[in-house]
Chains A and B, each alone.
Chain A
């Protein structure tokens, strides 16, 4: 019969239409909770699957990456210890070359000290590739999860300096718990090795002495 294909196809549309309402009735108010959002991006979703941004937001997976930030650890009396040592690997590896670092120098000796005097990222140019975070040997630069960065004037606002880039290690733990743990473990292991080597050396020295 001519037109059978169209009718069959319209049946699919009708099913989608009805499924939306069935979903709605079945889920009730739960549809608008976090559970509902998760359902809407799961394999079982049948009806409407859109999310009403900005009232509803999709959860960001841990690996999600958007504009890097610098990590600092909080030490005693609220002092901030910046992990970055201004080694420059991130600036070297950055594909669009949007990172630039000013090294700080010891005012007395004039020699460079391992903390950046300033650290800039031009977020207009940053392509969110995550290579800086991937190759940072000190876990000091991490990709953020905050994707709502719209501003009215990009010339004034979109070169981030050190102050704007610094975020506490707790925030890092909060957005990327697994990665944080892996890196913390690796660091602990490294330090334990170092300590063991040192102890061994000392023991050897003591035995000699």
Chain B
């Protein structure tokens, strides 16, 4: 499939997962991600894979836990309220050091919220969501092509670091169609000697577990896990810089918000205002480097997001108060228009 095809973002995730060797998918219907389940339901039986519609989000993530424990590349997908339900299982997956890929096509919240696009699960994705000290690697695609590429990357990262990886998308990127090419370089999944797939009477039994009743044992496990997280922080931050070289004002945004920012930047540049964009592609680990660099030359940063201000906290941590950081946002399923961002750019350019 090297030729470009037109596909919805959600479908691109599903196809890319299959290309990456995922043969087990467990999910539960929820808008706006149901295309992923529908695609898997159609394709999996034809390639010897498993698609199973679980009785709940909770059951689905625990099926993922089981299949991952058995050594499989496995995925589930949902949207915001469903991810809350899955958070229990995600914590267990992290605690048992299992690889898994979880897709969140975000919609508005809290509660049942709405079904239109949102980025308000940023804290949930980057700060936990479930209980305990743990992290997921969180990838934020901004195009259908990235939906596909980052899905393949998600499986590689999950296996490499034995941890859950979330694709933090939104309703827009999931629902829109763009040309996409599935011409990837694929990596062999690593061997999984830890998997519970039967001892074959040739080794000691493996145990997949997150329970450590002795405090010291649990402390050691947590410390070891965080040493691994440090390596992830060193190696894996990803970001895109757009017209930042000479920028006085830098926009920080991911996903669909970053796409809108590019329109605003073009408009601002026509007016002679030098604006650029830093687009984190991983939001955990957060790409601090481009922000640390930017504060040396830029005058202000605007965090553009579909939430009440969540990304902005990481931007502030990364910039250490060296330049003012302001918020430009819409929520509830609304998306800021380029003109609204331009207005904030004007305000900041005129000294805020």
Q: Tell me if chain B binds chain A.
A: no
Binding site for B on A (CB under 8 A): none
